[in-house]
Amino acid sequence: MNRPISLRESIALTQTCGMLKNTLIWLSCIVVVTGCSVTENIVSRSTPSSSIQSLEVPPDLTTPQQTTNASLFSTILQKASKEEKAQYQQYQQFQRMAEY
């Protein structure tokens, strides 16, 4: 049974919605302020950065040696003509475009 809402009922609904909105705003503010104060305590209790040890490089870590394939490629590239180098650069561009 649908009946039209009277003016008095619409004003009451508007006031109720306004009170709910204000209550939600206040609760949100309280949650934000409380949350910020809680996280501040957590941050202050964490270890200071001066007590953190830096990473050490293992003594057996060495730079990789150049392979024969890389040296062979550089030798061939030095002997290549300008036209061959241009074709190779074009090939590399196509490869990069194919990756995307």
Tens digits of residue pLDDT in 12-70: 878 888 888 999 999 998 888 877 666 665 655 555 666 667 778 777 777 767 666 67
pLDDT of 24: 92
So where are the chain's domains?
Answer: 7-44, 71-99
- Residue 26 · residue 19 · CB < 8 Å: no
Asked if residues 31 and 39 have their Cβ atoms less than 8 Å apart, the reply is no
pTM for this entry? 0.33
What is the pLDDT, as a whole number, of residue 32? Answer: 83
**CA-to-CA distance for 90 and 99, rounded, in angstroms?**
14
